[in-house]
Amino acid sequence: MNNLIILIIVAIIMGIALVSTLLITKERDAVYSSEKSMNNQAWMYIALIPVLVIVGLIFWF
């Protein structure tokens, strides 16, 4: 049961990451920079790593 809850939370977080990625890459920009887009995406995933670790630790203990 506990593993199911963790899997559901991870699925929700991954869904949020997917939606955020699509919103970031959807924008049309006259001065499009793939470096800027990759930088934004990298920061988003870097920010999610601590959240995943904290949620995992909370449910682990």
Residue 27's pLDDT band, with cuts at 50, 70 and 90, is low
- 36 vs 23, 24, 27, 46, CA distance in Å? 14, 10, 12, 15
Instruction: Give pLDDT tens digits for 36-50.
Output: 788 888 888 898 888
Instruction: Indicate the helix (H) or strand (E) that contains 21.
Output: helix 2-26
Domain that holds residue 46: 2-60
Q: 3-state DSSP call for residue 30? A: coil
Please tell me the total count of domains within the chain: 1
Q: What is the pLDDT of residue 2?
A: 81
Residue 16's pLDDT band, with cuts at 50, 70 and 90, is very high
Cα radius of gyration rounded to whole Å, the chain: 15
Q: Record the pTM.
A: 0.44
